[in-house]
A = this chain, B = another copy of it.
């Protein structure tokens, strides 16, 4: 039998015999109500169909219990994996996540930030667009709520905003050591210069090659301005190089797995894996589909779980301290591990 529907706090008060102010205190902070009354309310709630209004129960609190997340794109399994971790970690701490995608557009990123401000979110975790971002968007956001950057950051523009991500120097060094030990030293296929990872991974490649006394080479064209369609970008670029007889042997290190998936496809079309002494390709991230590619993709695995959990944990700390940001720049960078598969 369906339970009787109760729509308002007044009706609930009548239905379970506890005064409205006491109910109100219970929903805002159960610890402020006597244990025997808590039990009476909990027993009563089991017998009716009542949903407390999310905002009404929070109108008198400082906190809305909302955490905003802004990511550049939803159609990217790296970001959705991170988002799943953030959602689960936030839910475990009693927060509700509001996700906004900036769809690769600085105006929409600003719009998303404004929306989260107008909703009085308690704090925001942002994987910024990067070069396309307006620093002003986040300076303004910081006047309203604490902010944590995840995955990539805005270099120097916003001191005091914590950053949680991958240690790109460690990850590039790790994959270079493996590639150089097992064969020729690699060329580098960079991401379009969209965010700090694009800059940091290319810089790490150049520095680590020099440290090893090896000649570095960046695949031409990879520095061009381009969008977030990484597979298509890498496929089209490498298809053109391969068609012109360039880079058909040797080793190619890609700045992320989505690029490597596009490069693998171009290499397969040119049958570059079928010969001995053929091409080797490696990626970065351990994208969920990288092990299903042919050849399966050799890469380094980011610790997405720890990155997402740490971002939520730092943000929750700032929220409970009532602080908009840290006094000093703080970065938490996690190491990667090698995933050796068939492609290199």
A74 to B84, CA, bound (A): 7
A80 to B88, CA, bound (A): 18
Task: Choose from B52, B81, B144, B293 the contact partner of A118 (Cβ within 8 Å).
Answer: B52
A54-B119, A84-B75, A96-B115 known; A262+B292 contact, CB < 8 A: yes
- A74-87: CB near B (< 8 Å → 1, else 0) gives 11010011011001
A99-B99, A103-B88, A294-B265 known; A118+B75 contact, CB < 8 A: no
Q: Could you tell me if A53 and B118 are in contact, using CB atoms closer than 8 angstroms? A: yes
Q: Does A39 contact B (CB under 8 A)?
A: no
A77-B75, A80-B75, A264-B294 known; A55+B119 contact, CB < 8 A: yes
Which residues of B sit under 8 angstroms from A54, Cβ to Cβ?
115, 118-120
Q: Could you tell me if B75 and A81 are in contact, using CB atoms closer than 8 angstroms? A: yes
Q: Does A261 contact B (CB under 8 A)?
A: yes
Which residues of B sit under 8 angstroms from A143, Cβ to Cβ?
5
Q: Does A305 contact B (CB under 8 A)?
A: no
Which residues of B sit under 8 angstroms from A75, Cβ to Cβ?
77, 80-81, 84, 288
Which residues of B sit under 8 angstroms from A117, Cβ to Cβ?
51
The 8 nearest A-B residue pairs measured at CB: A54-B118, A268-B294, A74-B80, A265-B292, A54-B119, A51-B117, A294-B294, A51-B118
List A residues at the B interface (Cβ < 8 Å).
Answer: 5, 49, 51-55, 74-75, 77, 80-81, 83-84, 87-88, 96, 98-99, 101, 103, 114-115, 117-120, 140, 143-144, 231, 235, 261-262, 264-265, 268, 288-289, 291-294, 296
